[in-house]
């Protein structure tokens, strides 16, 4: 039984057009012209308990909107959604007690008070029993290593410490479903890693179902086995990360180190040269031929070292997006 | 001088454009300010119609005091409205830009947010005032008129000095909003003749923080109640106060440590 | 229920952090009280009785209405429109909390603080000014008289909350609020009792909810309403409270649908 079911979700925003000029302004006082922005356009997916899913897509793709609908903040224009058996937008308190939404840049901690105070407040709001509260709080504080900052005013904490406390506040009630919107945005590299490690650990330990949106590939690479790619409000891909690579990565990348110089043309017949600077060179070869060509290279050229890699996910995803656009263009022409 | 006028015009133009963009709000504000005036006027009329006067003044004189209060209050707000937005400028660091430009920063601070809708209110006030004065028994002679204009100028200078002090405090402590609000509350005490208040309060409002003076002196001039000593004193007071405020301002600048991000 | 009490407590702590703000607010309130006091003391200099009040009764009105004001009109819900526009409302929406109750309990903390200070300041002023005021006498239905205070508080809360909800449709909430503030200043009856105004105007005002915020409660405590008047007035206050409660519920439902959870 999937824990999250989304069928044909569509969400429009109504934006009113603002024309410049005095006459237009006066007109708009009487009759406003609205146009619809399709933030999410007929998407469907299912998620099982305990999955950790990455939603990726460029800015404005609809990932955040999807999360907001799933957490009950936004009212879907059409479609059926069920999370833990509830319709999110009804905002049944029973549902809200089992889920948590963390938005990267938003704070829920009270700025002028120590984080501890906000924790206690959340404990009461979510009606967490005393002993459970103590247990969970201690575990989280251990995991995130923030024991010493709990009694300092939040405004005095560093960004990293604050983010950690925000996470604790969001997890005190041990939510079954966790929505993370751009959790690593604005953080430095060290903090990003800490954040990812924590999310992975939390998913493993508490078996919470986690949906994570991001436009950083690192987040997805490190965390999500299953990936949903959204662009222009539509799902372009939903499946294992490995599948994307297999499906969309046409090449493999060979990085070579040579022991002696030779004319460039000799390398060209093996594949497309990406870079050529003695003693190193990088070439792209078709996936299926990768091993064969590598073997040939080793025989015929003075190779000192060879490395075979997948192309970076970013490049693959970019291909997926531009592939999507090509599809749109094709269907528009028709 | 011409440069200042041109800059002021441009700033006012920007401010006006902003108001057009928020028409709804601007109209509501206009209605609100008008309502505030009308309500208190209704109250005052209801009061003095029954009591025949207040603190030794006749019915008409009390109303004149109130009208003068509005005249001074609206005009000073018109010219110094920027002070209400000053705190944000200091906190954000925009104030630093003011200091770096070849222009008196005080001017930029205060004159940067002129609200042209105040002219509407002023015009309406002038019309009503003229009608009321025409109806009343007040007949000013040329001498009174001249005195009135001089006292209005004095009021303006005192108001200027007070606003400079508020700004100076804002530079030193970034606390502007409270000082300005207290200033507004104190001036609103002068909606009625100061004689209403007990001695200590009156002295405080006249000499210590000459707000009371600033508001009621022009009214007294119009009503022919201004005595020569008071007149001279007011000139002295205004110049001293202005001088002090400018010293404070210079001190504030020397203490200024600009806001970090 | 416990969660809202905890909320009130934390709101109280939070309020104390902004000490200067609060002190200045109290200073301004005391100034307004002094203004009203001196004005009426001066007015009654020449006269024995005006508008149906003797000097001591009028001064009593001024003081009592001032204390009631600190209970009924103090509020934190002014933040609501800003919270909606910044998207921070999401923090409340995603939790098992009622937004209506949330802000009410935050207001309670604020009102309690203000009430305590008002009483203290009043005691202090009495010592200095030694005004001769009439002793409040709510009459036989003393218990019922107390009832009017929570009702007036709720009524104002709903009105204020309604203005906060405007945030769903526009970021420019300051202007309508200003208008409300101006109206309240004169119509609710804090500077002067509504009896001062011409009868025609009073009749019009009695059709609005405003007199029931401060003027009417003060009248009860001064013993000027008579039993029938008191019960009738409390009934009307109840009616207004229910009306605004229903409007608030309706507007909230509509607002939530347009909420975009955006803004930074």
For the CA atoms of chain B, what is the radius of gyration?
A: 19
Helix A159-171 and helix A130-144, axial crossing angle in degrees, nearest 10: 150
Residues C197, B42: C-beta atoms closer than 8 Å? yes
Closest Cβ–Cβ partner in C2, C14, C94 for A101: C94
Chain A residues touching residue B23 (CB < 8 angstroms): 25, 29
Contact with chain C for residue B169, Cβ under 8 A: no
How many domains does chain C divide into? 1
Place of tokens 């939530």: C256
Chain C residues touching residue A71 (CB < 8 angstroms): 94
* Closest to C74 (Cα-Cα) out of C213, C243, C167, C194: C213
How far apart, in whole angstroms, are the C-alpha atoms of residue C193 and residue C191? 7
How far apart, in whole angstroms, are the C-alpha atoms of residue B212 and residue B73? 12
pLDDT of residue A31: 61
Burial of A43 (C-beta count, 10 Å sphere; 0-12/13-18/19+): buried
CA angle, corner A139, sides to A133 and A143, nearest 5?
140
* CATH assignment of A250-309, among 3.40.50.620, 3.90.1420.10, 3.30.300.30, 3.30.70.980: 3.30.70.980
Q: What is the mean pLDDT of residues B174-195?
A: 84
Task: Name the phi and psi angles at A259, rounded to 5.
Answer: -95, -20
Residue of A nearest to C95 (CA): A96
Strands A209-214 and A234-240: unpaired
Cα dihedral across residues B134, B139, B145, B150: positive or negative:
negative
Question: What ranges do the domains of chain A cover?
Answer: 49-78+85-245, 250-309
pLDDT of residue C264: 35
* A49-78+85-245 belongs to CATH 3.40.50.300: yes
Tell me: pLDDT of A17 over 70.
no
pLDDT of residue B261: 38
CA angle, corner A215, sides to A212 and A219, nearest 5?
55
Q: Is C263 domain-assigned?
A: no
A160-212 pLDDT, tens digit each: 888 899 999 999 999 999 999 888 887 888 888 888 899 998 998 889 999 99
Domain span at residue C169 reads 2-258
Chain C residues touching residue A96 (CB < 8 angstroms): 94-96
Is the pTM higher than 0.80? The answer reads: yes
CA angle, corner A128, sides to A124 and A134, nearest 5?
105
How far apart, in whole angstroms, are the C-alpha atoms of residue C191 and residue C35? 9
One digit per residue, the tens of pLDDT, for chain C of length 264 reads 888 999 999 888 887 777 778 888 888 889 889 889 888 888 888 788 888 888 888 988 999 899 999 899 888 767 888 889 888 899 999 999 999 999 999 999 889 989 999 999 999 888 887 777 767 665 555 677 788 899 999 999 999 999 999 989 888 888 888 899 899 988 887 789 998 888 898 899 989 999 999 999 998 888 887 778 888 889 999 999 999 999 999 999 999 988 887 753
Task: Name the phi and psi angles at A198, rounded to 5.
Answer: -65, -45
Contact with chain C for residue B29, Cβ under 8 A: yes
Q: Are C161 and C249 in contact (CB under 8 A)?
A: no
CA atoms within 13 A of residue A266's CA, in its CB half-sphere: 14
Q: Which of residues 181-210 of B touch C (CB under 8 A)?
A: 181-182, 185-186, 188-189, 192, 195-198, 201
**Residue A156 structure tokens:** 């005095």
How far apart, in whole angstroms, are the C-alpha atoms of residue B228 and residue B233? 8
Residues A22, B20: C-beta atoms closer than 8 Å? yes
Chain B residues touching residue C21 (CB < 8 angstroms): 178
Cα dihedral across residues B200, B204, B205, B207: positive or negative:
positive
Place of tokens 């299912």: A46
Tell me: pLDDT of A268 over 70.
yes
Chain A residues touching residue C6 (CB < 8 angstroms): 120-121, 124-125
Q: Which of residues 24-63 of A touch B (CB under 8 A)?
A: 25, 29
């Amino acid at each position: 039984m999937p824990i999250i079911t989304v069928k044909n979700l569509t969400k429009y925003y109504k934006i009113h057009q603002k024309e410049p000029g005095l006459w237009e302004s006066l007109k708009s006082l009487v009759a406003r012209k609205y146009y619809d922005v399709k933030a999410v356009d007929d998407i469907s997916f299912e998620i099982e308990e305990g999955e950790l899913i990455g939603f990726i897509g460029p800015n404005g793709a609809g990932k955040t909107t999807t999360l907001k609908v799933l957490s009950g903040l936004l009212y879907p224009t059409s479609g059926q959604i069920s999370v833990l058996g509830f319709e999110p937008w009804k905002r049944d308190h029973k549902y809200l007690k089992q889920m948590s939404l963390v938005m990267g840049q938003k704070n829920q901690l009270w700025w002028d008070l120590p984080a501890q105070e906000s924790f206690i407040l959340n404990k009461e709001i979510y009606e967490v029993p005393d002993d459970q509260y103590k247990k969970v709080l201690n575990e989280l504080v251990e995991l995130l290593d923030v024991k010493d900052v709990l009694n300092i005013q939040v405004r005095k904490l560093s960004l990293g410490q604050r983010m950690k406390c925000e996470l604790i506040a969001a997890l005190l009630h041990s939510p079954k479903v966790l929505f993370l919107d751009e959790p690593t945005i604005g953080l430095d590299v060290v903090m990003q890693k800490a954040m990812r490690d924590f999310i992975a650990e939390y998913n493993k330990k508490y078996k919470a179902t986690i949906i994570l949106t991001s436009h950083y590939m690192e987040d997805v690479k490190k965390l999500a086995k299953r990936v949903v790619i959204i662009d222009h409000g539509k799902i372009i891909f939903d499946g294992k990360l490995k599948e994307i690579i297999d499906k969309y990565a046409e090449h493999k990348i060979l990085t070579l180190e040579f022991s002696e110089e030779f004319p460039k043309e000799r390398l060209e017949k093996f594949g497309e040269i990406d870079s050529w600077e003695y003693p190193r060179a990088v070439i792209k070869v078709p996936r299926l031929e990768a091993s064969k060509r590598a073997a040939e290279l080793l025989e015929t050229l003075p190779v000192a070292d060879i490395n075979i890699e997948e192309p970076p996910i970013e490049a693959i995803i970019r291909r997926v997006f531009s592939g999507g656009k090509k599809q749109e263009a094709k269907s528009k022409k028709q | 001088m011409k440069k200042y006028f041109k800059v002021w015009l441009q700033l006012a133009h920007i401010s006006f454009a902003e108001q057009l963009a928020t028409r709804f709000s601007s109209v509501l504000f206009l209605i609100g300010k008008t309502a505030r005036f009308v309500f208190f006027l209704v109250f005052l009329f209801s009061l003095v119609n029954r009591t025949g006067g207040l603190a030794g003044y006749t019915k008409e004189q009390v109303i004149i005091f109130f009208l003068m209060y509005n005249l001074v209050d609206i005009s000073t707000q018109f010219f110094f409205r920027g002070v209400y937005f000053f705190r944000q400028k200091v906190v954000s660091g925009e104030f630093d830009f003011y200091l770096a430009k070849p222009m008196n920063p005080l001017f930029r601070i205060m004159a940067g947010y002129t609200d042209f809708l105040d002219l509407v209110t002023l015009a309406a006030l002038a019309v009503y005032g003229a009608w009321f004065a025409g109806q009343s028994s007040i007949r000013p002679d040329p001498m009174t008129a001249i005195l009135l204009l001089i006292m209005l100028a004095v009021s303006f200078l005192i108001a200027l000095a007070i606003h400079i002090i508020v700004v100076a405090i804002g530079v030193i402590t970034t606390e502007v909003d409270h000082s300005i609000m207290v200033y507004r509350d104190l001036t609103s005490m002068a909606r009625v003749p100061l004689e209403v208040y007990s001695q200590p309060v009156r002295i405080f409002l006249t000499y210590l923080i000459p707000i009371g003076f600033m508001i009621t002196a022009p009214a007294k001039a119009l009503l022919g109640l201004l005595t020569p000593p008071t007149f001279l004193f007011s000139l002295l007071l205004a110049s001293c106060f202005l001088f002090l405020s400018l010293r404070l301002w210079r001190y504030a600048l020397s203490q200024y440590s600009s806001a970090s991000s | 229920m416990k969660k809202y009490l905890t909320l009130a407590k934390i709101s109280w702590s939070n309020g104390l952090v902004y000490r200067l703000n609060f002190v200045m607010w109290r200073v301004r309130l005391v100034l307004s009280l002094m203004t009203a006091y001196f004005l009426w003391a001066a007015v009654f200099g020449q006269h024995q009785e005006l508008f149906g009040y003797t000097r001591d009764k009028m001064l009593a009105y001024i003081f009592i209405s001032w204390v009631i004001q600190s209970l009924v009109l103090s509020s934190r819900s002014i933040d609501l429109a800003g919270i909606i526009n910044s998207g921070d409302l999401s923090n409340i929406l995603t939790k098992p909390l009622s937004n209506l109750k949330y802000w009410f309990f935050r207001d309670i903390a604020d009102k309690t603080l203000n009430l305590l200070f008002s009483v203290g300041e009043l005691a202090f002023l009495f010592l200095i000014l030694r005004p001769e005021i009439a002793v409040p006498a709510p009459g036989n239905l003393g218990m019922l008289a107390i009832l009017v205070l929570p009702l007036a508080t709720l009524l104002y809360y709903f009105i204020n909350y309604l203005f906060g909800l405007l945030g769903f449709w526009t970021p420019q909430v300051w202007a309508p609020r200003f208008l409300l503030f101006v109206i309240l200043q004169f119509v609710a009856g804090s500077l002067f009792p509504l009896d001062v105004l011409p009868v025609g105007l009073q009749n019009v005002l009695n059709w609005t909810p405003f007199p029931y915020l401060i003027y009417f409660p003060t009248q009860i405590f001064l013993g000027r309403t008579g039993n029938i008047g008191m019960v009738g007035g409390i009934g009307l206050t109840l009616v207004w409270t229910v009306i605004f409660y229903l409007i608030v519920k309706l507007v909230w439902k509509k607002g939530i649908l347009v909420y975009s959870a955006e803004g930074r």
